[in-house]
Amino acid sequence: MKKSRIILSAIAAAAMIASVSSCGKKPEEKKLVIWSFTDELQTMVDNYYKPDHPDVEVDYSLTPTDQFPNKLDPVLANGNGAPDVFALEDAFVRKYVEQGDALLLDLTDVYNEVKSKMIAYPAEVGSFNGKVYGLSWQACPGAMFYRRSLAKKYFGTDDPAEVQKKVANWDAFNEAAAELKAKSNGKCVIVSTTGDLFKPFQGARKDPWIVNGKLVVDPAMEAYMDACKFLKEKGYEGRQGQWAEGWFAGMKGELKDEKGAEVEVFSYFLPTWGLHYVLKPNAPNTAGDWYMIPGPAAYRWGGTWVAAYKKTKVPNLAKDFIKYVATDDSFLERWAKDTGDMVSNNNVINKIKDTYSEPYLNGQNHYAEFAKMANNVDGKLTQGTDQAIEAIWGDCVGSYINGEKSKEQALADFKEQVNVTLGF
């Protein structure tokens, strides 16, 4: 009997020690601090995540895009007041991803659970040194949107399959531009600005800007210079600036040249969000007069990634949140249906892609078309220095296109400025 009491006492003591030990490790709080530059993420939190996770408290902060990195950088550097989860815009996502384990929570385990159903390129952009640090709910492949009425007038057909043949590669694109100009007596240009060609040519590169610490000008980027020069000299583009007033006027069918003559703009290169946030709101009067096709090259443009601070006190909760907004089938199906956003989850895409008919595109199923394009996009060439390098590139290419410098001089100046500014 005495021996039994000793054994029971020993068991009780062991249980007490185990209990004390487990109490020493506090369970994670059910609170997330989230920072973002886009109200899309806030809509996700308020309308989807919180109803699905009523036990989680979310402290959400919204800051304009141009101010966001300046707000985020100091707190990530010193750890004081840093958010658990934050959004990263395409223009600066690699700046953070390339800091890897020093800054961000490793999401490789999350991605490995879901990668079989995900479009590859968003995770490629969010990866560094073999680890995944950022995931995106979006896929933003680019397309070529063209005016149906102009295609019928000058090509004799507005059928997307036939028009795609006209612009299937850059040589064909140039021939189509010549045909438009000739048949319209110089009135119709294939694009309003040479700037529209940048993303498609960028998407055709084989090498990134920086290879083994050295600046590389991929042949595709030199081809971009030649293409822009060719279009401008031939009068195949509308001589407008991208995002300028004339760029939008061309969408509306209201562009005029310096003499007041009407200029018809045949097409625009835009990504998924370009339909809903550029064409529709800025050219409502042309609804039904557009179709979209892949165009000469596969490319991507834009997007939002979600990452977590390495020293977050709620790593599991942060991972669960990112997994939810970036990969969850149920959520992304609802999100896609409610917003029209092109998601990065192939399970969802394949389930819903055949249900769309877009009135602005004369009933065309844009979702199915974008789905075909999305899996052809390569995200592996994106680098943290892209934004700075491409700002210099744009200025130097502009000087060549406008006849201020030779191609050789423009390239030499570009390389010198990158070296001076960034050390490459």
pLDDT band at 25 (very low <50, low <70, confident <90, very high): low
Establish if 228 belongs to a structural domain: no
pLDDT band at 1 (very low <50, low <70, confident <90, very high): very low
Nearest to 192 by CA among 298, 270, 300, 272: 270
Q: Which residues contact 237 (CB under 8 A, 6 or more apart)?
A: 189, 190, 191, 192, 193, 194, 231
pLDDT band at 221 (very low <50, low <70, confident <90, very high): very high
Residue 366: C-alpha distances to residues 106, 157, 281, 290, 298 (Å): 35, 19, 17, 11, 16
- 219-234 and 407-422 helices cross at what angle (nearest 10)? 130
Tell me if 343 sits within 8 A of 139, measured CB to CB.
yes
Establish if 241 belongs to a structural domain: yes
The answer on 170 and 93 residing in a single domain is no
Which of 276, 299, 322 represents a domain boundary (last residue)? 299
Does the CA dihedral 303-343-139-353 come out positive or negative?
Answer: negative
The answer on 151 and 99 residing in a single domain is no
Establish if 7 belongs to a structural domain: no
The answer on 180 and 283 residing in a single domain is yes
Please give the span between the terminal C-alpha atoms of the chain, in angstroms, as a whole number: 82
The answer on 241 and 118 residing in a single domain is no
Establish if 222 belongs to a structural domain: no
CATH of the domain at 129: 3.40.190.10
Q: What is the pLDDT of residue 26?
A: 61
Establish if 157 belongs to a structural domain: yes
Establish if 88 belongs to a structural domain: yes
Which of 374, 393, 408 represents a domain boundary (last residue)? 374
The answer on 167 and 245 residing in a single domain is yes
The answer on 265 and 157 residing in a single domain is yes
The structure tokens listed for 412 are: 């030499």
The answer on 160 and 248 residing in a single domain is yes
The answer on 314 and 294 residing in a single domain is no
The answer on 159 and 42 residing in a single domain is no
Q: What is the pLDDT of residue 4?
A: 39
Give CA 37 to chain center in angstroms: 14
Q: Which domain holds residue 109?
A: 31-139+301-374
Establish if 397 belongs to a structural domain: no
Establish if 87 belongs to a structural domain: yes
Count of domains observed in the chain: 2
Average pLDDT of the residues in 299-328 = 96
Q: pTM of the predicted model, to two decimals?
A: 0.87
Q: What is the pLDDT of residue 27?
A: 67
The answer on 259 and 152 residing in a single domain is yes
Tell me if 207 sits within 8 A of 158, measured CB to CB.
no
The answer on 125 and 43 residing in a single domain is yes
CA dihedral 38, 39, 42, 44 (to 10 degrees): -90
The answer on 295 and 305 residing in a single domain is no
Average pLDDT of the residues in 283-287 = 96
